[in-house]
Structure 1
Amino acid sequence: MIAFANQPIPVILDTDGGVDDALALIMALNSPQLDLKAVTVVAGNVNVDLATNNVLRVLSIVEPEISPIVAKGCEKPLVRPPFNAAGIHGADGLGELDQFLEADGTPRYPKLAIEPSTENAIELLLKTAQEYGDSLIIIALGPLTNLATAIQKDGATMKKIGRIVIMGGAVTVPGNITAAAEFNFFVDPHAAQIVMESGIPLTLVGLDVTMKAPIARQVVEDNLQRRPSKVTQFIVDCTGMYMAFHRDNENFHGCYLHDPLAVAVAIDPSLVTTESLYMMVETEGRFTSGMSLGDRRDRRSEKTNPPNVEACLEVDTERFLQLFDQLV
């Protein structure tokens, strides 16, 4: 077992409601070190209404003692038209859950009776930043539209928070949606650049480390056999289509745990090795839009371009997968 500190960290999870987001949310809800105050939702993998429904779906399955506030945020990127990943995550964002029936023919995942908060995600981010200050960590799992909007609205309040842990970008490896760009930064590059320039401490959990943390289909299915529960059944169901995509396109039947790794880094920063870098995000490039460009030159000037991110470049995969197994 991994030893935990006594005082849980207040956390907001900002998510776009896909499959790996759901796994990350389960981890955060089950982690004794995190006190999940709120989940703010943004358009990305799917539209913001579906994404919000998916967060509520996970809450209905995990049934935490205290449920975080769930608040809907931005419906589209700051400048760009919306772009989603329904082809990978399923039309519902969770692997087409309506296909699953119980033995008696009733839906395994019936329509939800719970609703999100009427509060707006941006207001909630600012209110929580004001309340918890530098003890607050925001874990951003989708496009950074909500965070950029909050920074534009009241940068001084957002600067009070302790850190943003971002699943996004790629420093030394290719992108995954284009040759240059990782999906979240590609969807809203303008938001990503605003966050880079915000002056808030940032940890970037990009493809450099998330592609080193795959989980095989067999592991997920064995887990269900070993510990049958609503949660392990849901994990098998929601990852089916997502894992099949990797099987058909990358000859590997499983998936990468992009978003869960960001939650893991918030819990235990020692899982990764980071480099302090000055980073910018390309917003205009014809071929490179959404590219996260870290300045790794030997002769870079720290005066004119001081480092603005801690970029994760190595990960202890074995310890991460242990933590993941412990929390889901």
Structure 2
Amino acid sequence: MQALIKSCALALTLGLSATSLQAAEKVIFDTDFNVLNDDGQAFIMLAQLHAQKRIDLLGMTLVSGNAWVDQEQVDALKAVERMGVENEIGVYTGAAYPLLHDFASYEQEKALFGSGWPGAFKNPRPTAASQLVAPPDGLATHTTLRSESAVQFIVDSVKKNPHEVTILAVGPLTNIALAIRSAPEIVPLIKRIVYMGGAIEIPGNTTPAAEFNWWFDPEAAKIVLRSPIEHVIFPNDVCENVIFDASVYKRIVSQKGVIPDLYKTVLGPEFDKDPNHHSFTWDSLPALFLVHPELVTESKDLWVDVDAHFGPDYGRSMGYKKGAPVGTQKAKVVFAVDQPRFWDEYVKLVTLPAPVKR
């Protein structure tokens, strides 16, 4: 009987271990990276989740968007060192330019249609290292970009792990579109794509029509969203309802550590100047969704597309309940989350020790 009990206990342990291993979803973080805005915060969370073996973060792929990819390289290399994961999580540089959209046309758009956040198009692409800005805690000291391009890394990773890789796409979709176009055989092998992008039922934040990520490269967004893959989308409709304010900031900086100190350095001056300072919450939402899908309290199944015709609707995202254009794909579009629980989980992750502890 005792042997039977031990045998059952061992089987249960192995079963739980298998379940735990299965739950460690393989993730590629495709990002227009920054130090501590939306992408930077999301990476801190992902690095901690990776260290806890709740996800398997295969790598970070960079794409121009919030900044030119040259600046993102500087910030991302420091980020993996800061979190102590530089040996496990490679940084792969990707598309420097959108497929068609460019800096010159942005000036015309701004004059014709108005503009909010332009990202990299705020200035021409840097041509020298002296034009790049070091992170507040200095440059990376020993980490360099991986030799493989972001596009090739995406293709290779999906082929190596068929039906297992989730792409967390929180920037323009240029890298993913190029991967799909260069190796269309990966499309049925991608587990799913989880996005921060689009503005479905509200105005855009770059032009009146368009949300920034999909506006920066509408042609790429159209290619990716029309691919027959499982799509989960966090649009500005939900992101602009989740507010990072002084109450959240104080919860973070009341803790000691590398990351709370970074929050003080980067965000502290804003709150010192204006105690009512606040910002929307973007990439952290889909990042936490990977391990806490139950945080979603409202979503709709919609066929989603992007307008890629140059004009006032360039980059507009459209969600159809019925009568969608031929070729569009159904997506789960998130409209609300459990905010108290989200902030509890968010604060817990960003206040853990860095470099990460395993």
1:265 to 285, 289, 303: 289
Match of 1:219 in 2: 248
2:257 to 229, 234, 258: 229
1:85 to 106, 119, 128: 119
Give a deviation string over 1:256-281, Cα, whole Å, max 9, x none: 22011110122222212321111110
Q: How does 1:1-20 map to 2 (within 5 A)?
A: 6-7=20-21, 8-18=24-34, 19-20=37-38
Match of 2:3 in 1: none
CA contact (8 A) 1:38 1:71 kept: yes
Residue identity (%) = 28
**Any unmatched runs of 5+ in structure 2?**
1-18, 107-117, 127-131, 351-358
2:345 to 317, 323, 327: 323
After TM superposition, give the deviation of residue 237 of structure 1 in Å.
2.5
CA distance in 2, matches of 1:307, 1:44: 24
After TM superposition, give the deviation of residue 205 of structure 1 in Å.
0.7
After TM superposition, give the deviation of residue 305 of structure 1 in Å.
6.5
1:29 partnered with 2:44? no
Q: How does 1:1-328 map to 2 (within 5 A)?
A: 6-7=20-21, 8-18=24-34, 19-31=37-49, 32=52, 33-64=54-85, 67-82=88-103, 84-85=118-119, 108-110=137-139, 112-225=141-254, 227-239=255-267, 252-272=276-296, 273-296=298-321, 300-301=322-323, 307-328=329-350
SS in 2 for 1:35: strand
CA contact (8 A) 2:65 2:120 kept: no
CA distance in 2, matches of 1:61, 1:52: 14
Give a deviation string over 1:177-218, Cα, whole Å, max 9, x none: 111111001100000000111111111111111112111145
Q: Normalization by structure 1: what TM-score?
A: 0.84
SS in 2 for 1:264: helix
Give a deviation string over 1:33-59, Cα, whole Å, max 9, x none: 211011000001111121122111111
CA distance in 2, matches of 1:306, 1:86: 29
CA distance in 2, matches of 1:239, 1:262: 22
SS in 2 for 1:64: coil
Question: CA separation of 1:184/1:240 partners in 2, compared to 1, >3 Å: closer, same or farther?
Answer: farther
Question: CA separation of 1:42/1:295 partners in 2, compared to 1, >3 Å: closer, same or farther?
Answer: same
CA contact (8 A) 1:181 1:288 kept: yes
SS in 1 for 2:60: strand
CA contact (8 A) 2:29 2:169 kept: yes
Give a deviation string over 1:282-310, Cα, whole Å, max 9, x none: 111411111101113xxx24795664211
- Greater Rg over alpha carbons, structure: 2
CA contact (8 A) 1:212 1:317 kept: no
After TM superposition, give the deviation of residue 252 of structure 1 in Å.
4.9
CA distance in 1, matches of 2:257, 2:314: 42
CA distance in 1, matches of 2:169, 2:70: 18
CA distance in 1, matches of 2:347, 2:133: 23
CA distance in 1, matches of 2:28, 2:330: 21
SS in 2 for 1:274: strand
CA distance in 1, matches of 2:135, 2:249: 19
Question: CA separation of 1:43/1:306 partners in 2, compared to 1, >3 Å: closer, same or farther?
Answer: closer
After TM superposition, give the deviation of residue 239 of structure 1 in Å.
3.6
After TM superposition, give the deviation of residue 159 of structure 1 in Å.
2.6
Count of residues paired in the alignment? 304
SS in 2 for 1:267: coil
SS in 1 for 2:301: strand
**Any unmatched runs of 5+ in structure 1?**
101-107
Question: CA separation of 1:303/1:229 partners in 2, compared to 1, >3 Å: closer, same or farther?
Answer: closer
SS in 1 for 2:98: coil
Q: Normalization by structure 2: what TM-score?
A: 0.77
SS in 2 for 1:228: coil
Give a deviation string over 1:117-144, Cα, whole Å, max 9, x none: 0111111000000111212111001100
- The one-letter amino acid of 1:320's match is F
CA distance in 1, matches of 2:232, 2:344: 22
